[in-house]
């Protein structure tokens, strides 16, 4: 389903509600020419107690941190952004939706120096189903190790969820699609496992859950953090460690996490089956536990859900 079929009625732009088809920026906006923007991807879930945004405050914190790295002063407070997010969901009448906050340098002048361009912010909501397909959560996906690496440290800041970084992600994703895969896994500049084009990576080997650390130039994923916390609650050992590519081939299970991808098993890498070539028991248990929090079957002891009231 494309945006036109799933669009909402309103977009929030700099404090104003604008009808979807009128939510426009100038062709000379700095973000269009130089990628000067940071963003988030957040899910609002349909729960037994009504719509609830998952880890809203953590996403807003990361949005502000991303902007800070790029010296972009957001003209609203975190509380104002969170309040606007909830109001927009109400105004658009969503039971569930995907939320895209974006902060960007707008229209004034062009040139690499961005300081004279205004910092604008928008909030967008729409219905977005399962990112890698509805069957992916159970059956898993086929992926490849990409020929494109993630950025080196001190080149592009991997800890900032910035628009420009996703040009690298597009190369990884397009290559995978052209070769018949659902997704690609990128290595870091030293050849160690990093992440997917838009997902964090986990490897299960001999009962231990491994995931690349921040210095593998990964985005500090909020679903990644969620899964680490839930796995430890369940008694699993979780290790953040640098991993060689071949760990993917000898792993018992491999899975992606992300706000869009949620917890998606990987059934093969480079045409080599992962484990039994289907979703494994650890991945299944983590999926179930993740959705139990959303469905109210497990106590939300960490306050991850913000309900739309």
Catalytic center residues: 161
Distance CA 283, CA 267 (A): 11
Burial track 59-78 (b if 16+ CB lie within 10 A, e otherwise): bbebbbebbeebebebebee
In the structure encoding, which two tokens stand for residue 94, read together? 């969503």
Residue with tokens 């009808």: 19
The separation between CA 201 and the C-alpha centre of its own chain, rounded to angstroms, equals 12
Residue with tokens 């491999």: 254
Q: For the chain, how many residues are written?
A: 309
How does DSSP assign 6-70, residue by residue? HB-SEEEETTEEEEGGG----TT-HHHHH--EEE--EEEEEETTEEEEETHHHHHHHHHHHHHHT
């Amino acid at each position: 389903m494309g945006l036109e079929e799933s669009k909402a009625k309103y977009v929030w732009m700099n404090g104003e509600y604008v009808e979807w088809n009128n939510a426009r920026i100038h062709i000379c906006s700095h973000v269009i020419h130089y990628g000067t923007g940071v963003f988030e991807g957040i899910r609002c879930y349909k729960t037994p107690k009504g719509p609830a945004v998952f880890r809203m405050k953590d996403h807003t914190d990361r949005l502000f941190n991303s902007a800070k790295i790029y010296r972009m002063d957001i003209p609203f407070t975190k509380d104002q952004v969170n309040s606007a997010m909830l109001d927009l969901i109400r105004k658009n009448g969503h039971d569930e939706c995907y939320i895209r906050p974006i902060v960007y340098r707008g229209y004034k002048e062009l040139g690499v120096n961005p300081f004279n361009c205004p910092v604008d912010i928008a909030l967008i909501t729409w219905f977005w189903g399962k990112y890698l397909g509805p069957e992916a959560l159970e059956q898993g996906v086929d992926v490849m190790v990409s020929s494109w690496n993630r950025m080196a440290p001190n080149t592009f800041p991997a800890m900032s969820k910035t628009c420009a970084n996703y040009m690298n992600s597009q190369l990884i994703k397009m290559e995978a699609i052209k070769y018949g895969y659902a997704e690609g896994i990128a290595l870091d500049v030293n050849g160690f496992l990093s992440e997917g084009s838009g997902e964090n990576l986990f490897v299960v080997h001999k009962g231990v859950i491994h995931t690349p650390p921040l210095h593998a130039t990964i985005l500090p994923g909020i679903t990644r953090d969620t899964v680490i916390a839930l796995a430890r609650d369940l008694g699993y050992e979780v290790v953040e460690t640098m991993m060689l590519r071949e760990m993917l081939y000898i792993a018992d299970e491999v899975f992606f996490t992300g706000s869009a991808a949620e917890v998606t098993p990987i059934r093969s890498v480079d045409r080599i089956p992962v484990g039994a070539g289907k979703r494994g028991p650890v991945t299944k248990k983590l999926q179930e536990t993740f959705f139990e929090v959303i469905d109210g079957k497990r106590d939300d002891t960490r306050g991850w859900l913000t309900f739309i009231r």
